[in-house]
Homo-oligomer: A and B are copies of this chain.
Amino acid sequence: MHRIPRDHPRYESLRIRQLLVSGAERGLAVREGLLAHGRGEAFDYLLGERTGPEARRAARAAAAALLLAGRPVLSVNGNVASLAAPDIVRLAAAIPGAVLEVNLFHRTEGRARMIGRELRAAGRRLGARGRGLRIFADDPDARLAGLSSERARCHREGMLSADLVLVPLEDGDRAEALKRAGKTVVTVDLNPLSRTARAADITIVDNVVRALPELWRRVEGLRGAPRARLGRILGGFDNRANLARALDRIGSRLAALARAPCPPHPAPRTPFNGPRRPSR
């Protein structure tokens, strides 16, 4: 791993990337996870790499849904474990009755076990509340309908019996299978056009390293609120409209960049660049 200079213009993005590369080196994440992260990086760039108003609104609704759920399950894959293990463990510990379950697109029991160990270590660092967390990792004992072979495997007392599943950075097939199984699906996905973003009930269009802490703050703020109030927050949230606003935000940013008289990295003047406009 390289040391990234603090004043590098892409410091934060490179720091997040190194978390994932380091996770891949340790065997938590796989090659396909690196590709998926790269895709996320591009969307994050287009979103301005900050938590926008749509993400905050979705996080508030997600917090209400998590606190209303009877059996909430927080799903963890290799990228989530690499990027945000302490964040998702802290979030689980803040939600009464929540459990964690490891769920991998390219599943091997060895990798599931390793991620389970990672989560338990993060739990111990949280103290008593973290140590008491239920974490389902390897040896799944159930199957989710509509997914092929290894990917269908899950835990009876975890995802199979959940009424709500938080699946950050999820594949569209699983998000859709969870919906068909009648569960409320909450996701974190930087691509507002993805199948997962569209299939979910609540989509937080944000980087997982920002979204999980934001979600934790919302849960802390709403825990203990009357169920009627949580229900009103949920009822007032329209995922489709929220996704459309996130798309609009990306579109306007691109349009502004396209119109900008000075691009961030001006092209050198060459005979091939066509007619010049007067410089200012």
- A interface vs B, CB < 8 Å? 2, 9, 17, 20-21, 24-25, 31-32, 34-43, 45-46, 61, 65, 106, 172, 179-180, 184, 191, 193, 195, 198-202, 234-241, 243-245, 247-248, 250-252, 254-255, 257-259, 263-268, 270-275
Contact = CB atoms under 8 A, between A and B. Distances in A.
A267 B35 contact: no
Contacts of A238: 273-275
A65 B272 contact: yes
A251 B244 contact: no
Contacts of A241: 274
A133 to B, nearest CB: 26
B244 A198 contact: no
A195 B255 contact: no
Contact of A39 (B42, B201, B234, B237): B42
| Most interface-central of A41, A61, A245, A266 (chain B CB within 10 A) | A41
A149 B16 CA distance: 23
20 contacts: A20-B35, A21-B32, A34-B35, A36-B38, A37-B38, A39-B41, A39-B42, A172-B265, A180-B268, A184-B272, A195-B264, A198-B266, A201-B267, A201-B273, A237-B274, A244-B259, A250-B254, A251-B251, A251-B254, A254-B254
| Most interface-central of A31, A40, A45, A252 (chain B CB within 10 A) | A31
B267 A191 contact: no
Contact of A273 (B193, B240, B252): B240
A201 B193 CA distance: 32
B35 A234 contact: no
A262 to B, nearest CB: 10
Given A35-B17, A35-B34, A198-B264, A61 B272 contact: yes
A270 to B, nearest CB: 5
